[in-house]
Amino acid sequence: MSKLDELIAELCPNGVEYVKLKEICEFKRGDSITKKDLIDGDIPVIAGGQKPAYYCNISNRTGETIVISSSGAAGYVSYWDKPIFVSDAFTIKPKSEDVLNIKYLFYYLKNVQIQIYSFKKGGGVPHVYSKDVGTLIIPLPPLPVQQEIVRILDNFTELTAELTAELTARKKQYEYYRDKLLTFGDEVQRSTLEKLFNIRNGYTPYKANAEYWENGTIPWFRMEDIRENGRILSDALQRVSIKAAKGFPFAANSVIVSTSATIGEHALITREFLANQRFTVLTVKKEYEKSLNIKYFYYYCFILDEWCKDNVTVGHFASIDMGKFKRFKIPLPPLKEQERIVAILDRFDALCNDLTSGLPAEIEARKKQYEYYRDKLLTFKEVKA
């Protein structure tokens, strides 16, 4: 029997009381902030997002604090143990920490995060209000039981944080070796993009033509696909019909590079596809298929991405000077050397980014395990009156 089981058997064998949050907690709205308070500050300002909106030089909350965003990512619950400034949000804390442990309260609120999101209301920018959160009913076991639950869940959190820190270090190492492997001297031949690739613009099929958008079989890639599914893609979140491709989809094993709007992102597409107008599509010309490994070029595009970010033409719409883009040169070492570089970087990439192996897979497994035990640990039999 675990320590938690022993505590429950001793202190609440017949169940625990369930109470409304507003009966045992205090709610307090955030404050507005002025420009003079934003100078040279290192105090996080918590507003409508999941991360600090910016930083200031004053705080309005200290110690352990639970914050719930009012708008933006309305309903998002966060925990802080350092001074912060709460703006477009509200805080919640126990009226008595002899009755309710604040970290236990945080873990319980995270466990019902989806329910808190459901409290959003209002047109335009939906808000979550403290009066609605106050109606939530929470199990209130004896304080020693709460503390033991916090200890267990803290251990899960710390382990995930350690793995995440290791992953961050590995990613930096990966980026260092990637740049080093892709840096060559004058002895290596270089060729321009326009010499090596057929370069075409992506486009959005005519929205009013239903035939283009019904029963789609051709993936149509947008920036959302990269954000959600990574940089090596075999399918898109949205598909269009072959008619939308006018019979000529882009070839498989082409690379897309964002050259307008959100600039400096790329992906390797492994099947025939379309992409929207934010992307420039690069397909290796037949005469270079045996001298250029497309995966090598995919990795070199991380350097191309940075060049794009440094060469933005700012007008009505941020974009890249396509003349300069086409003249961008990439080094072409012998094919065997390209393959060697790809093999090394593939191993790094799997370790840092593959959700089926390496550190990301382990972190994902730990998160699922944590969520499972959090739900299990925070579920109690209700005591009969």
- Please give the share of the chain, as a percent, with pLDDT higher than 90: 59
Q: Do domains 17-140 and 185-332 have the same CATH topology?
A: yes
What are the residue ranges spanned by the domains of the chain?
17-140, 185-332
Q: Which residue has 């270090």 as its token pair?
A: 169
Band of residue 316 on the pLDDT scale cut at 50, 70, 90: low
Assess contact for 60 and 85: CB atoms under 8 A.
yes
* Packing angle of the helix pair 335-353, 294-310 (nearest 10 deg): 70
Tokens of 206: 């005519």
> Under the phi-then-psi rule, with left for phi > 0, alpha for psi from -120 to 50, and beta for the rest, what region is 40?
left
Q: Is a pLDDT exceeding 60 seen at residue 355? A: no
**Per-chain mean pLDDT for the chain:** 89
pLDDT of residue 336: 95
Mean pLDDT of 355-362: 64
- Is the domain 17-140 a CATH 3.90.220.20 member? yes
Band of residue 358 on the pLDDT scale cut at 50, 70, 90: low
Q: Is a pLDDT exceeding 90 seen at residue 297? A: yes
pLDDT of residue 191: 95
What is the dotted CATH code of the domain comprising 185-332?
3.90.220.20
pLDDT, tens digit, 9 for 90 and up, residues 363-382: 777 788 888 888 888 888 88
Q: Is a pLDDT exceeding 70 seen at residue 314? A: no
pLDDT of residue 319: 85
pLDDT of residue 2: 84
pLDDT, tens digit, 9 for 90 and up, residues 116-149: 999 999 877 889 999 999 999 999 999 999 999 9
pLDDT, tens digit, 9 for 90 and up, residues 167-188: 778 788 888 888 899 999 999 9
Of 109-113, 269-273, 319-323, the one with minimum mean pLDDT is: 319-323
β-strand pairing of 218-221 with 274-275? parallel
> What pTM did the predictor assign?
0.62
- Please give the share of the chain, as a percent, with pLDDT higher than 70: 96
pLDDT of residue 36: 76
pLDDT of residue 168: 79
pLDDT of residue 144: 95
pLDDT of residue 173: 82
Band of residue 246 on the pLDDT scale cut at 50, 70, 90: confident
